[in-house]
Structure 1
Amino acid sequence: MADTGWPGCAKSLKGVILDLCGVLYDSGEGDGVAITGSIEAVKKLKASDLQLRFCTNETQATRDKFVAKLQRLGFDICVSEVFPPAPAAIAVLKERRLRPHLLVHDGLLPEFDSVDKTNPNCVIIGDAAEHFSYQNLNEAFRVLIGLEKPVLFSLGQGRYYKETDGLKLDVGVYMKALEYACDLKAEVIGKPSTTFFQSVLNDMGLQPHEALMIGDDLLNDVGGAQHCGMKGVQVRTGKYRPSDEMHPTVTADGTVDNLAQAVDMILNQRGQ
């Protein structure tokens, strides 16, 4: 009988999905810093018979610029392998003929150049970092409260993330503020959305049970992947907290020290 637990499940895997920030690197001043062993771990996965994709809630830069940063850090990675929320959000806007008011980081704005933003009938919120001022949040609130049918999209719903100088509040905190103020529920585009994970699986041509997610965020990476039908493994880097291993509702299929250890365990199980 096939072993469905971690790491035995690695024998039957066909693909691996990696989070980026907190797994491959820690963001911060300049390009940030690669996490020890992660550059080599990505090389090993690419040399194996497994498909590899990167699933991120990064919204402080366009996909092209974000990938260029990772390449400068030393990672073998290309744009087509990376799935951030913004391109998925643009597809939703065009499909539903929505015109957004944007509360996002300046670095992400070029991603929305092709989108009509006149007379907004929805709001998109991303990790705006220092742009999360009272004035900017209030402006987004006024757009929403003035709509007959307010629509709020959140590019992810993370609580916090780790940079080189410490933990930082993430978009989910501000999403909750707008939800509360406007008495509505945001539509999340990005992790932990099942639709978002499924889009990555579709690109790989795989079923959920054939893929494994590795991330530092217990709820959005691991929990989101498990809800979609995948296995989820948490690394003890990035935003990991020891309390994650005793969480009341989400239990990772495995917990490892870092990406390098996870990859070695996967490849050892596969005899590679």
Structure 2
Amino acid sequence: MSLLCGGPVKGLLCDITGVLRESSSTDDGIPIPGSIEAITNLEKNGVKCKYVTNESQCTRADLHAKLLRLGFCMPEESIMPPALAAKQYIKQNNLRPHLLVHPNVLPDFEDLSKDDPNCVVLGDAVDLFNYENLNTVFRLIKEKNCEFISLGKGKYYREDGSLTLDVGPFTAGLEFACGKEAVVCGKPDKQFFKAGWESMNLSCEEVVMVGDDIISDVGGAQKAGIRGVLVRTGKYTSADENHDQVKPDLIVDNLAALADIIIAHNKTFS
């Protein structure tokens, strides 16, 4: 389905890293040119925006503060990170987590009981992805039959200008070793996208997802039943445009270009 063949776009599910900003390991990163103005223009023209991210190196509050410092303006509640989705799942199922996550995201789980764990939560733990920690997680899942929860399943992202492994490869390795599939709280899980459009009180036909990840953002969105747009920013590579499995509904240079297209498209229905 082409974006221009669909109905009016009333809501945008927007990735953060690679779409709004370029990531850095030492500071807040930098806004991608035109992204701040793009969000402002979309909202002025009646398009709701929700920020669905697999960011699992910091809390939602910290991520929100970073975006504000970069010049963006959105309520904290508009940001949907995987840690909070996982926390909700843990509470609903009376689970006690063993956490292999980045230290900065631990505050999102601080009010949960962690004694005698019956589940494992895996996030983008960066330097904590060592043999000892991964082997501990493997034993909990394999020998103690702990439930396995992954904060997204992205393959890689771009940070400080270089590609960097995300949580997905570690999740896949543990799934292979344990013979057990992870519960994915984040992209590309269908329920994560569904929670995004439902939070805007919109239907899937009224919403578009935009991201720089051809599999998790675009492919995940399309499998969930919404239109998926790929931006040529972030971790995008030219090979993404001829992917053998995922065909984006639209490919644009950046978020600013998409905003212009959406606004012009919507005017044809007014």
TM class, shorter-length = over 0.9
Where 1:223 maps in the other structure, the secondary structure is helix
Residue 266 (1) aligns with residue 230 (2)? no
1:119 is aligned, of 116, 121, 138, to: 116
1:72 and 1:16 map into 2 onto residues whose CA distance is 22
Match of 1:249 in 2: 245
Where 2:73 maps in the other structure, the secondary structure is coil
**Where do 1:1-272 residues align within 5 Å?**
5-9=2-6, 12-28=8-24, 29-147=26-144, 149-271=145-267
2:237 and 2:117 map into 1 onto residues whose CA distance is 39
Q: CA deviation at 1:33?
A: 1.1
Q: CA deviation at 1:48?
A: 1.4
1:27 and 1:133 map into 2 onto residues whose CA distance is 23
* Counterpart AA for 1:239: K
Where 1:135 maps in the other structure, the secondary structure is helix
Q: TM-score, normalization: structure 2?
A: 0.95
Where 2:267 maps in the other structure, the secondary structure is coil
2:204 and 2:43 map into 1 onto residues whose CA distance is 20
**Structure 1 moving runs of 4+ over 4 Å:** none
2:104 and 2:247 map into 1 onto residues whose CA distance is 35
> Is the 2:9–2:266 contact (alpha carbons within 8 Å) kept by the matching residues of 1?
no
The alignment's C-alpha RMSD in Å is 1.3
* Counterpart AA for 2:135: N
Q: TM-score, normalization: structure 1?
A: 0.95
Give aligned pairs, total: 267
> Is the 2:83–2:108 contact (alpha carbons within 8 Å) kept by the matching residues of 1?
yes
> Is the 2:117–2:146 contact (alpha carbons within 8 Å) kept by the matching residues of 1?
no
> Is the 2:8–2:265 contact (alpha carbons within 8 Å) kept by the matching residues of 1?
no
Q: 1:20-70 deviations in whole A, cap 9, x for unaligned? A: 000000111211111111111111112111111110001111100110001
* Counterpart AA for 2:152: G
2:139 and 2:189 map into 1 onto residues whose CA distance is 27
> Is the 1:8–1:269 contact (alpha carbons within 8 Å) kept by the matching residues of 2?
no
Where 1:44 maps in the other structure, the secondary structure is helix
Q: CA deviation at 1:122?
A: 1.1
2:147 and 2:40 map into 1 onto residues whose CA distance is 41
* Counterpart AA for 2:94: R
Consecutive unaligned residues of structure 1, counting only runs of 5 or more, are none
Q: CA deviation at 1:8?
A: 4.7
* Counterpart AA for 1:163: E
Q: CA deviation at 1:150?
A: 3.2
Q: CA deviation at 1:142?
A: 2.0
After superposing the two structures, state which structure 1 stretch, 132-141 or 199-208, moved more. Answer: 132-141
* Counterpart AA for 2:171: M
Q: 1:193-230 deviations in whole A, cap 9, x for unaligned? A: 11111111111111101100010001111111111111
